[in-house]
Structure 1
Amino acid sequence: MPLAVEEVMRLLCSLSEAKQMKAAVKQSGRGALVAGTVAFVGGLVGGPPGIAVGGAVGGLLGAWMTSGQFKPVPQILMELPPAEQEKLFRQVNAILSDLDWTDAVQVTMLVMGSEALQQRLLTMLVGYVTKELHAEVQYGD
Structure 2
Amino acid sequence: MTTGQFRPVPQILLELPPAEQQKLYDEAVAVLGHLDWTDLAQLIALVMGNASLQQKLTGVLINYLSKELRAEIQYGE
- Report the TM-score when normalising by structure 1: 0.51
Give the corresponding residue for 1:42. none
Q: Is 1:71 aligned to residue 7 of structure 2?
A: yes
Which has the higher Rg, Structure 1 or Structure 2?
A: 1
Task: Give distance in 1, aligned partners of 2:38 and 2:13.
Answer: 25
Contact 1:112 1:118 in 2 (8 A): yes
Task: Give distance in 2, aligned partners of 1:87 and 1:139.
Answer: 24
Task: Give distance in 2, aligned partners of 1:130 and 1:96.
Answer: 21
**Which residues of 2 match residues 17-96 of structure 1 at below 5 A?**
25=1, 27=3, 67=4, 69-96=5-32
Q: Deviations over 1:41-96 (max 9, x none)?
A: xxxxxxxxxxxxxxxxxxxxxxxxxx3x1111011111111101100111011000
Please report how far the alpha carbon of residue 103 of structure 1 lies from its aligned counterpart in structure 2 after TM superposition: 1.1
Gaps of 5+ in 1: 1-24, 28-66
Secondary structure, aligned partner of 2:73: strand
Task: Give distance in 1, aligned partners of 2:9 and 2:43.
Answer: 21
Higher helix share: 1
Gaps of 5+ in 2: none
Letter in 1 for 2:39: D
Task: Give distance in 1, aligned partners of 2:24 and 2:50.
Answer: 20
Structure 1 residue ranges (4+ consecutive) displaced by more than 4 angstroms after TM superposition? none
Report the aligned-residue RMSD.
Answer: 1.3
Larger RCO (CA within 8 A; separation ≥ 6):
1
% same residue: 56
Please report how far the alpha carbon of residue 104 of structure 1 lies from its aligned counterpart in structure 2 after TM superposition: 1.4
Letter in 2 for 1:106: Q
Secondary structure, aligned partner of 1:138: coil
Please report how far the alpha carbon of residue 26 of structure 1 lies from its aligned counterpart in structure 2 after TM superposition: 5.9
Letter in 2 for 1:139: Y
Give the corresponding residue for 2:65. 129
Give the corresponding residue for 1:103. 39
- Report the TM-score when normalising by structure 2: 0.90
Higher strand share: 1
